Amino acid sequence: MKKFLIPAMLAAFAGMLTSSCNQAELDKSNQSNDSLLAVVSDREAALNEFIESFNELERNLDSVARRQHIITVNTDQRGELKQDQKDRINAQILAINNLMDENRQKLDELTKKLKNSAHKNAKLEKVIETLKGQLAQKDAELATLNEKLNSLNAEVAQLQTNVASLTIESNLKGQALDEATMALHTAYYITGKAGELQDAKVIDRKGGLLGIGKTSQLSSNFDNSKFTRIDYTQTLAIPVGSEMKIITSHPGDSYTLEKESGSKSKVKFIVISNPEKFWSASKYLVVVKD
């Protein structure tokens, strides 16, 4: 009897293990599916929210265009504007200003949401850039309409355009670009006797044995103000006027040494033939004069 009972028990136990393993795998699979469905659902909700915002912006712009037309029709008639025309124009101006404010706020929200979103989408970014362009164009149109109203001396409300701020923003971006370019092309140089440069903590003397064979190198905590700052695309010759040694790293085929007249060793200028290459290894040039 025992001979039959033990195999039967083992088989039943194995079946329980298999069933348990299968259930664990099934639970794990269901959890994975649930997680995947949650991710897909989140993405769909975010996309639907973006689409609804885009559609609302488009509807607002269409409404602004219709109200622009109403203002234009009322101002195209000859003669002084009547009070009821002014009232209609003011009503449209108020509506346009509110719509444009709403558009700018919604576009800012969309931009922030897309920036903070974990799911980057190049197409959505392109759509937002298109909407920004449409808003900028609409601001320019409203500015032109404002000028027309001013020329009529219509004594009506002003359309609140964003052209001035757009111009300021453009100027600031241009200024930032200029500053970034300037920083990119900034380099520094200094020339002087070894002792002077050491005292100024521009170079250190290291290596050698018993004070013999020491070499100079750029100090790790030098003071920037000791150097002459240049735009390396504009300054292509560094004055020396002495025998010298360059201790910073610069490719040898990116410069030549212009010697003093009648001298084989006295350098008048370091002439930089390839600025990008010359300053590629170091934006600092240290020249030790002998």
Q: Report helix, strand or coil for 249.
A: coil
Q: What is the pLDDT of residue 12?
A: 47
Residue 218: predicted pLDDT? 79
CA distance 202 to 184: 22
Q: Which two tokens stand for residue 49?
A: 């929210």
Give the pLDDT score at 180: 57
The structure tokens 């920083």 sit at 183
User: C-alpha angle with apex 257: 256 to 258, nearest 5 degrees?
Assistant: 115
pLDDT means over runs of 10, the chain (290 residues): 45 48 52 47 62 80 84 72 77 85 84 70 75 81 79 68 52 56 80 90 63 61 86 92 92 93 91 92 90
* pLDDT confidence of residue 270: 95
What global pTM score does this model have?
A: 0.40
Q: How far apart are CA 163 and CA 134, in angstroms?
A: 13
In the prediction, which pLDDT does 287 show? Answer: 94
Compute the radius of gyration of the chain from its Cα atoms. 37
Q: Distance between CA 157 and CA 86 in Å, rounded?
A: 9
248 membership: H or E segment, kind and range: none
pLDDT at 251: 92
**pLDDT score for 242:** 92
- Where helices occur in the chain by DSSP H, the ranges are 2-76, 83-116, 122-151, 163-184, 194-199, 275-278
Contacts 24+ apart (CB under 8 A), 77-81: 81/152, 81/154, 81/156
Residue 86's Cβ-count burial label (10 Å; 0-12, 13-18, 19+) is: middle
Distance CA 68, CA 46 (A): 33
pLDDT, residue 172, reads: 53
Decide if 267 contacts 242 (C-beta within 8 A): yes
Asked whether the beta carbons of 271 and 236 are under 8 A apart, the reply is yes
pLDDT at residue 215, rounded to an integer? 62
| pLDDT at residue 14 in the model | 47
Query: What is the predicted pLDDT for the residue at 239?
Result: 95
